[in-house]
C-alpha cells in the first residue's frame, strides 16, 4: 500500500491505494498545502498502526490469533 498526495479543487488531499491501485481510504477534507496533506497521511498511518496493535491478541501458547 502507498499514499498519494493529489491536488484537489480546493487544496490537497491524500489517498491510500493498494498494490492494484484501488483506493483503500482517502482524506475527508482538503489541506492548504501538499506538506500538510502529507503530514495528515502520516498521522492517519500512525493511528491505523496503533489500532492494529490494540487488536492483536496473543494466545496462551504465544501465537497470534
For 6, how many CA atoms within 13 A lie in the half-sphere containing its CB? 13
What local confidence, expressed as pLDDT, does residue 33 receive?
A: 97
pLDDT in tens, 7-64: 988 999 999 999 999 999 999 999 999 999 999 999 999 999 888 888 766 666 666 5
φ, ψ for residue 26 (rounded to 5)? Answer: -150, 155
Residues sharing a CB contact under 8 Å with residue 29, sequence separation 6 or more, in sequence order? 13
pTM of the model as a whole: 0.75
DSSP 8-class letter at 18? -
Res 65 pLDDT > 60: no
What local confidence, expressed as pLDDT, does residue 31 receive?
A: 97
The cell 489500532 sits on which residue?
51
What local confidence, expressed as pLDDT, does residue 22 receive?
A: 96
What local confidence, expressed as pLDDT, does residue 8 receive?
A: 87
Amino acid at each position: 500500500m502507498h499514499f498519494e498526495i493529489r491536488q484537489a479543487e480546493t487544496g490537497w488531499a491524500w489517498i491510500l491505494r493498494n498494490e492494484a491501485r484501488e483506493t483503500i481510504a482517502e482524506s475527508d477534507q482538503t489541506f492548504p498545502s501538499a506538506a500538510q496533506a502529507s503530514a495528515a497521511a502520516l498521522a492517519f498511518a500512525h493511528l491505523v498502526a496503533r489500532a492494529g496493535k490494540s487488536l492483536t491478541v496473543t494466545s496462551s501458547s504465544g501465537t497470534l490469533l
